Structure 1
């Protein structure tokens, strides 16, 4: 094979990988965004932590069954147990635990908008911890994406309600999520399968929430009807298993570029809420999508070093 043929082959492989990453990023954003609507549906039937615990138990059990009994992947080592526990506490216990508390005090619009702040935290933490250089294109794409999200969220923010306490808790949950993301990307997993990591971190993170569930549980507020099980099933399988697997794959490729897909989550969230819960979509939504896509294009056009 001559040099020209090799170059064409490498170029074709690179393009194929780029399209694969784009597809995975879009699917991740859609599934992750659907979680807020699914949670809202479930909250009509049960308390927040009841939904969360069932979600984590179902998702974790399925993932561990597949990774250990079907795929025959190895169990984590002693050091990896510590890493998985830290990741589970940050990504499940603190992030989702604080988020569900905050959502009782802030609107869904503000909750969706908060997801868009994660890339800012992730980029800054990556620059400090992973020595990633923040270039002009990164800053430009951040600005375009953030403006797009604000435009899309503007009509909902006009009618939003929130408490200062709720906003602070929401901010804390976003910081926990970003910390978990960076911790995962910098930890040495020694080839441990991502399904194993995801399964155990989901179970361990859920276990740490059991005391909170025990302290807040009120039997009369929980009806295990079809809406409850539909909500929990969607949150457990497409979101906790599907979306998180895609997210970990994106993180392995590039943690900073992966973070930009979070900007699409509020956009998808508005669309899903429109069809599932009759929330309005306006011109601001379409303008926001245009800005976000422009920012994502700039981000994805950057070459990996």
Structure 2
């Protein structure tokens, strides 16, 4: 088998596995919420993922620790990307279905493109504006029949929007900073730990013992979110970006499909014509956001 064929197979395998793992986060979160409070799930997840990544980075690989200015950058990145984004996300998932949660995650690149206009002085194009409108319409369309049985609420969708904006701001900040020779695993490990620590006071303040059952469902949910999602999916995504930053974003088109399939299989969520129409609209929006994409585009962590 030629090197080109091997590289193509490796690219396809990495992209499909990434899309499946990334989309599984919503269903894993919904399962965890049947056993514990949202912030409890988040803090345990971040602690577990950070411990594994930092052990591998500094004990096994012996990567260097961050320096003075790098600590500040990692702390702010962790605040945006972990504390606010994933903190709000797990709270929103209490009143949003798993399928809608996965669909919303897939729209992140569109918001990154939009915020880049303000923070990175990029040109605001018609496709970017149109993609935002179409993606939002897609999410609302897929969620529309779920309002009737309270599977989705307006407050939940608004929280999802806020956390998507925080994620986008984090991605822009990450791409605009100089990280010197600091390894990606080191950055990811420390931002996850610091982001979790920033969330800890809120978790302790809101903690209710009777609402948390550290049973098998809880630990399976947390372990899945920590290892396959926070570690494996993110590392695959970074590899895809380093290999081909233009084509990497195309794998996000598969996330809504995987997300609704997982939600239907494990959470028994219905797939209706509204669901199909919503996924189609979001994918159209994602496609439009990729028009005129260049290799200097923002890195989506």
Moved more, 95-104 or 217-226: 95-104
Q: Does the C-alpha gap of structure 1 residues 289 and 217 become closer, same or farther in structure 2, counting only changes over 3 Å?
A: closer
Deviation at 1:29, TM superposition (A): 2.6
Q: Alignment partner for residue 115 of structure 2, among 125, 140, 156?
A: 125
TM-score, reference length from structure 1? 0.79
8 Å CA contact 2:81, 2:166 repeated in 1: yes
Q: What is the rounded CA distance, in whole Å, between the counterparts of 1:71 and 1:297 in structure 2?
A: 39
The answer on 1:238 being equivalent to 2:228 is yes
1:168 aligns to what?
A: 158
Q: Does the C-alpha gap of structure 1 residues 162 and 88 become closer, same or farther in structure 2, counting only changes over 3 Å?
A: same
Does the residue aligned with 2:226 lie in a helix, a strand or coil?
A: helix
Deviation at 1:87, TM superposition (A): 0.5
The answer on 1:180 being equivalent to 2:170 is yes
Q: Does the C-alpha gap of structure 1 residues 229 and 162 become closer, same or farther in structure 2, counting only changes over 3 Å?
A: closer
Q: For residues 143-195 of structure 1, give each alpha carbon's deviation from its aligned partner in whole angstroms, at most 9, with x where no partner exists.
A: 77777666655654665555554443332211111101111111111121111
Q: What is the rounded CA distance, in whole Å, between the counterparts of 2:277 and 2:160 in structure 1?
A: 26
1:266 aligns to what?
A: 256
Gapped runs of 5+ residues in structure 2?
297-301
Gapped runs of 5+ residues in structure 1?
1-11
1:115 aligns to what?
A: 105
The answer on 1:41 being equivalent to 2:31 is yes
2:270 aligns to what?
A: 280
Higher CA-based Rg: 1
Q: Does the C-alpha gap of structure 1 residues 90 and 184 become closer, same or farther in structure 2, counting only changes over 3 Å?
A: same
Q: Alignment partner for residue 191 of structure 2, among 175, 181, 201?
A: 201
Q: What is the rounded CA distance, in whole Å, between the counterparts of 1:15 and 1:285 in structure 2?
A: 36
Q: What is the rounded CA distance, in whole Å, between the counterparts of 2:165 and 2:250 in structure 1?
A: 16
Deviation at 1:113, TM superposition (A): 3.9
The answer on 1:94 being equivalent to 2:84 is yes
8 Å CA contact 2:50, 2:193 repeated in 1: yes
8 Å CA contact 1:85, 1:205 repeated in 2: yes
8 Å CA contact 2:25, 2:229 repeated in 1: yes
8 Å CA contact 1:267, 1:285 repeated in 2: no
The answer on 1:61 being equivalent to 2:67 is no
Deviation at 1:129, TM superposition (A): 3.2
RMSD of aligned alpha carbons: 3.6
8 Å CA contact 2:103, 2:279 repeated in 1: no
The answer on 1:210 being equivalent to 2:200 is yes
Q: For residues 187-211 of structure 1, give each alpha carbon's deviation from its aligned partner in whole angstroms, at most 9, with x where no partner exists.
A: 1111211110100000000000110
The answer on 1:103 being equivalent to 2:58 is no
Deviation at 1:25, TM superposition (A): 4.0
Q: What is the rounded CA distance, in whole Å, between the counterparts of 1:145 and 1:15 in structure 2?
A: 35
Q: What is the rounded CA distance, in whole Å, between the counterparts of 2:147 and 2:250 in structure 1?
A: 22
Moved more, 218-227 or 26-35: 26-35
Q: What is the rounded CA distance, in whole Å, between the counterparts of 2:167 and 2:45 in structure 1?
A: 18
Does the residue aligned with 2:26 lie in a helix, a strand or coil?
A: helix
Does the residue aligned with 1:176 lie in a helix, a strand or coil?
A: helix
Moved more, 111-120 or 12-21: 12-21
Q: What is the rounded CA distance, in whole Å, between the counterparts of 1:19 and 1:231 in structure 2?
A: 30
